[in-house]
Amino acid sequence: MQTLIKRPQNGLHGRLTVPGDKSISHRGLIFGAISTGTTRLTNFLPAEDCLSTLTALQQLGVKIDRHETTVTVHGVGLHGLTAPTQPLDMGNAGTATRLLAGLLAGQAFDSTLVGDDSLSQRPMQRVQQPLAQMGAKLDLTAGHLPMRIHGRALQSATIKMAVASAQVKSALILAALQAPTASTIIEQLPTRDHTERLLTAFGGQLNTAADGRTITVQPQPHLTGKTVTVPGDMSSAAFFMTAASIVPGSQITLPQVGLNPTRTGLLQVLQRMGGDVTVTPQASVGEPLGTVTVKAATLKPIDLGADDIPAVIDELPLVALLAATATGVSHITGASELRVKETDRIATIVAELKKLGVQITEQPDGFTIDGRPAWQVKTATFDSHGDHRIGMMMAIAGLRLTQPTTLAHAEAINISYPGFFTDLQQLCPTKEALA
Ligand SMILES: O=C(O)C1=C[C@@H](OP(=O)(O)O)[C@@H](O)[C@H](O)C1
Ligand SMILES: C=C(OP(=O)(O)O)C(=O)O
């Protein structure tokens, strides 16, 4: 699928409620499934990744009904899942794969996880090895999917994580729930804590030490179904925050965006770059929520290092685009995790931004960008490379160009944001953004 993108002459304007958070939608389904009673998810994200989790849980014997963005999960309890009759297809979803690996490792049956070509190239030892410390047995195919999970009784453990990854942490928490006594998980750096918040909300017990990265999980909780309102996805809002910052004349308002501090790295990046961003928190239960207003601004370059990365991990393609418009040199380091996402995002960011004439240099763990307000565009035909975030980032880049641009493999965007182009169009009042 190819999509044509044109510059909105007067910038982006208006108010847009972005869809529900992907990370919380995955987890809401999983916690609903392992609770007893009914869980109702509102503002659920009906994107391909979350639907992979929904279908997998149905194959594990959980009754789930969905009407657009409202989902009802009829929980079966921590020990009530049943053996699937065929391999579970996780599609493109890394989060679903890692989290379900941790859950299924402690079940009384075997299961197999498979995925698409991209997911089948992503590293799975990162869950296999720490889960083995709890006695789990996961057989990989040369370090990748297909993954055969030999469900068995797990032991508790104290585990020092080797990568800063919320997916690995969450897999370990889900496994630790099934051990006989408490387990401790020590993160390298604090990462998104949606699993911890939802586990507590469903009635489980866990303690995070003052360092923010030592988590003690109490086992065998009795989890009870509940209603969860999924906040707007900061990682989706980030595309429009970036667009409004770099397209002259813009001013947009995004209400009900999730403001969990482990996810708001892009807000800080924009503020440090001189962006015009206002955040108004609103009353909420569970996850913090608020309204973000962004106006176009002249940006300064920025340096980000390893400690900054987890809170902005999925927004780094957008950081690259922002830096490309800022006069001066930006350095992004400590971001080698980008190499093992849906694509090698360091390579795909560099390849796509070079088409715009951006002076970007690939580094082993990031990139250096010598930004300019105006680019010497070489070609206006971009490619998502099958990666939703690269596709959306280049669609936003196209809004800044005077010539129309096309985006190849735009269908990849359905992985996390099926309504992306409709929502973008809503913020372009003169309706010329898309054709
Ligand atoms: O836990 C999650 O929901 C996610 C964690 C991040 O991955 P890692 O934890 O592997 O960095 C992020 O990139 C992904 O989009 C969603
Ligand atoms: C990396 C991502 O997702 P996942 O790891 O779940 O595939 C993402 O959404 O950018």
pLDDT digits (tens, 9 = 90+) for 269-298: 999 999 999 999 999 888 999 999 999 999
Residue 342 maps to which CATH number? 3.65.10.10
| Index of the ligand 2 atom closest to the CA of residue 96 | 6
Q: How many CB atoms lie within 10 A of CB 415?
A: 25
Is 168 within a domain? yes
Q: Are residues 250 and 181 in the same domain?
A: no
Cβ(233)–Cβ(19) below 8 Å: yes
- Active-site entry in 314, 370, 383, 423: 314
Q: Are residues 286 and 353 in the same domain?
A: yes
Ligand 2 centroid from CA 93, angstroms: 6
Would you state the structure tokens that stand for residue 346, as one six-digit string? 């360091």
Look at residue 6 in the predicted model and tell me its pLDDT. 84
Is 434 within a domain? no
Q: Whose CA is nearest to atom 12 of ligand 1?
A: 314
Q: Are residues 273 and 168 in the same domain?
A: no
The H or E element that residue 39 is part of is strand 36-42
Instruction: Provide the ipTM.
Output: 0.99
Q: Are residues 239 and 387 in the same domain?
A: yes
Q: Are residues 305 and 405 in the same domain?
A: yes
Q: Are residues 190 and 85 in the same domain?
A: yes
Is 432 within a domain? no
Q: Whose CA is nearest to atom 8 of ligand 1?
A: 165
Is 299 within a domain? yes
- pLDDT digits over 309-327, tens only? 999 999 999 999 999 999 9
Alpha-carbon span 304 to 335, nearest angstrom? 9
Is 366 within a domain? yes
Say if strands 303-304 and 328-332 run parallel, antiparallel, or are unpaired: parallel
- The phi-psi region of residue 37 (left if phi > 0; otherwise alpha if psi is between -120 and 50; otherwise beta) is left
Q: Are residues 176 and 113 in the same domain?
A: yes
Is 272 within a domain? yes
The residue type found at 368 is: T
Alpha-carbon span 5 to 391, nearest angstrom? 12
Q: Is a pLDDT exceeding 90 seen at residue 425?
A: yes
From the CA of 47, which ligand is nearest? 2
The residue type found at 222 is: H
List, in order, residues 6 or more apart from 1 with CB less than 8 Å away: 408, 409, 410, 411
Cβ(134)–Cβ(175) below 8 Å: yes
- pLDDT digits over 328-342, tens only? 999 999 999 999 999
Q: Whose CA is nearest to atom 8 of ligand 2?
A: 314
Q: Which of 229, 252, 280 is the last residue before a domain boundary?
A: 229
Would you state the structure tokens that stand for residue 56, as one six-digit string? 């997998």
From the CA of 91, which ligand is nearest? 2
Please name the residue ranges forming H helices in 202-344.
234-246, 265-272, 316-325
Question: Which residue out of 49, 92, 126, 385 has the highest number of ligand 2 atoms within 8 Å of its CB and is therefore the one to mutate?
Answer: 49
27 is in an annotated binding site: yes
Would you state the structure tokens that stand for residue 4, as one six-digit string? 């044509």
Q: Are residues 367 and 314 in the same domain?
A: yes
Alpha-carbon span 62 to 55, nearest angstrom? 9
Alpha-carbon span 227 to 72, nearest angstrom? 9
Q: What is the average pLDDT value for the chain, to the nearest integer? A: 97
User: pTM of the full predicted structure?
Assistant: 0.98
- pLDDT digits over 115-137, tens only? 999 999 999 999 999 999 999 99
Q: Is the peptide bond before 146 cis (omega within 30 degrees of 0)?
A: yes
Q: Is 167 in the pocket of ligand 1 (CB under 6 A)?
A: yes
Look at residue 376 in the predicted model and tell me its pLDDT. 94
What's the domain range around 216?
22-229
Q: Are residues 149 and 200 in the same domain?
A: yes
94 is in an annotated binding site: yes
Q: Are residues 283 and 224 in the same domain?
A: no
Alpha-carbon span 347 to 338, nearest angstrom? 9
Q: How far is CA 319 from the centre of its chain?
A: 15
Q: Which of 182, 211, 229 is the last residue before a domain boundary?
A: 229
Alpha-carbon span 243 to 297, nearest angstrom? 11
Is 214 within a domain? yes
Ligand 1 centroid from CA 191, angstroms: 9
Would you state the structure tokens that stand for residue 392, as one six-digit string? 């959306």
Q: What's the number of domains the chain is made of? A: 2
The reply to whether 303 belongs to the active site is no
Alpha-carbon span 325 to 341, nearest angstrom? 25
Q: How many CB atoms lie within 10 A of CB 36?
A: 16
Look at residue 386 in the predicted model and tell me its pLDDT. 98
Ligand 2 centroid from CA 178, angstroms: 26
Is 81 within a domain? yes
Question: Measured between alpha carbons, how far is residue 386 from residues 92, 168, 394 in Å?
Answer: 10, 24, 12
| Index of the ligand 1 atom closest to the CA of residue 235 | 15
DSSP letter at 128?
H
Q: Which of 229, 249, 268 is the last residue before a domain boundary?
A: 229
Ligand 2 centroid from CA 328, angstroms: 30
Please name the residue ranges forming H helices in 273-374.
316-325, 345-355
Q: Are residues 306 and 166 in the same domain?
A: no
Q: Are residues 224 and 348 in the same domain?
A: no
